[in-house]
A and B are shown apart, each in its own frame.
Chain A
């Protein structure tokens, strides 16, 4: 592979990352399952890989006071093992991502930074209004995921920043996660969906993956008329046709999965 010529740097602590991110044309690599596929097909001018997989604090999951904090380098296999009790929607999403081998290396941080509209964990993170914590050499900041991702593969990541943590508040809720693909495993989604009803307020958030340039969110309340909500869904999603599915069918899936969710609340 052409990328053998890229200088490889193992970062063992967060400071190592910032020391090396200053170098021109450097790129952070975590699981690598998206980056290496992209680089295989598109040669570019990257000079340094900075591997962040060995940094212990990026691999931790903390859970307390109905708040879950997930390190950016937590793999989807680890999410499968650790979130099935405390945060089932993310467990469901992790279960549908690629196959076992990819889940053993692919990270949740990578899924976010890659910013694919079809990213399997993203509808869950949008539905729960997840916050992302970034660290740079001289500052840190927190930004909501819905403000961070601005288009397919496009984010507001600034030079010198490292995604360190994903923070999710978990109130009492009912949910549905669903992924539609051609096969159960190793499939990119035609449409993915996470619907959440907050028990306290009756507020409903529905997040649709692979249905627009980023994850599409529709907010409503349990007291609203279902047919009216479904019309809003139909108008709001803007899927495209590609090799996996066509726009009309995707739109149909969005409306029907929303109906399934709303009618069974």
Chain B
């Protein structure tokens, strides 16, 4: 088994039936990826698998063989981070890694989103503090900033 996590190649010696989430947190000590519900409802464990957001609680390590994973630790999105800070899109912070992973993949595909599309993009991520408004604002702000740079 070979998997790339945040651009580093690993050859895990653990069971292929281990949840990817447990491998990331317990073996690689990448604890930025959170476990909320463990059933694919809350999105706190979202990572990028070959560039697409998936729930790491519902995927087994063996299913990631030969694939590339990006976690919040390896996400290189300074504009997104800055926007979350500026707008105040973080309260307790537990959902934030998942929110940022979901929105980074989305903005890659959809650089000029509408508000409705932003809502769809984070529809698989639950937040119990913010009411989503500031998170949506942060994602819109990121899109605007990226357009300016271009």
* Binary contact track B1-37/A, C-beta < 8 Å → 1, others 0: 0000000000000111111001000000000000000
Check if A98 sits within 8 Å of B63, measured CB to CB: no
Q: Smallest distance from the beta carbon of A132 to chain B beta carbons, Å?
A: 24
Contact status B38-A40, CB under 8 Å:
yes
CB proximity of A35 to chain B, nearest CB, Å: 9
User: Are B58's CB and A36's CB within 8 A?
Assistant: yes
How far does the alpha carbon of A51 sit from the alpha carbon of B61 in the complex, in Å?
Answer: 11
Q: Is B17 touching A7 in the complex (CB atoms < 8 A)?
A: yes
Q: Is A3 engaged at the interface, CB distance under 8 Å to the other chain?
A: yes
Interchain CB contact (< 8 A) of B63 among A3, A51, A186: A51
Of B40, B60, B102, B124, the contact of A37 (CB 8 Å cutoff): B40
Q: How far is the CA of A247 from the CA of B120 in the complex (A)?
A: 30
Nearest A residue to B23, CB-CB: A4
Residues 156-193 of A contacting B (Cβ, < 8 Å): 184-186
Q: Is residue B125 contacting chain A, with contact meaning CB distance below 8 A?
A: yes
**Contact string against A for B residues 42-70, beta-carbon threshold 8 Å, 1 for contact and 0 otherwise:** 01001001001111011111110100000
A-B contact count (CB 8 A): 97
A185 and B124 contact, CB distance less than 8 A: yes
When chains A and B are docked, how far (Å) is the Cα of A86 from the Cα of B106? 24
Task: Flag if A32 contacts B22 (CB, 8 Å).
Answer: no
Given A8-B16, A99-B124, A185-B124 in contact, is the A33-B62 Cβ separation under 8 Å? no
Given A99-B125, A105-B58, A8 and B15 contact (CB-CB distance below 8 Å): yes
Say yes or no: is A64 at the interface (Cβ < 8 Å to chain B). Answer: no
Interface residue B41 (Cβ < 8 Å from any Cβ of A): yes
Contacts of A29 in B (CB 8 A): 60, 63
Contacts of A101 in B (CB 8 A): 40, 43, 46, 53-55, 102, 124
**Is the Cβ of A40 less than 8 Å from the Cβ of B39?**
yes
Say if the beta carbon of A223 comes within 8 Å of chain B.
no
Interface membership of B127, Cβ < 8 A: no
Structural contact, B123 and A100, CB atoms closer than 8 A: yes
* Nearest chain A CB to B12 CB, angstrom units: 11
A5 interfacial contact with B, CB 8 Å: yes
- Flag whether B121 is at the interface (Cβ < 8 A): yes
Q: Give the residue among B17, B40, B49, B52 with the most A Cβ atoms within 10 A.
A: B17
Contacting residue for A100 out of B14, B63, B121, CB 8 A: B121
- Residue A77 at the chain B interface, CB threshold 8 Å: yes
A49-B123 in contact (CB<8A): no
Decide yes or no whether A229 CB sits under 8 A from chain B: no
- Interface residue ranges of A64-83 to B (CB < 8 Å): 77
- Tell me the complex Cα distance, A29–B14, Å: 19
Quick check: is A140 within 8 A (CB to CB) of the other chain? no
**Do the beta carbons of B60 and A186 come within 8 Å of each other?**
no
Contact between chains at B18 and A4 (CB < 8 Å): yes
Partner of A1, one of B18, B43, B123, B124: B18
Cα(A36)–Cα(B57), bound, Å: 9
Interface residues of A (CB under 8 A from B): 1, 3-10, 29, 31-33, 36-37, 40, 49, 51, 53-54, 77, 98-102, 104-105, 184-186
Known: A1-B18, A36-B59, A186-B124. 7 other contacts (CB 8 A): A32-B59, A32-B63, A100-B121, A101-B124, A102-B58, A104-B53, A105-B54
Please name 26 pairs of A and B residues whose Cβ atoms are closer than 8 Å in the assembled complex, sorted by A.
A1-B22, A5-B17, A7-B17, A8-B15, A8-B16, A8-B60, A9-B62, A10-B16, A10-B65, A29-B60, A32-B59, A33-B58, A36-B60, A37-B40, A37-B58, A40-B38, A99-B124, A100-B102, A100-B106, A100-B120, A101-B40, A101-B53, A101-B55, A105-B54, A184-B123, A185-B120
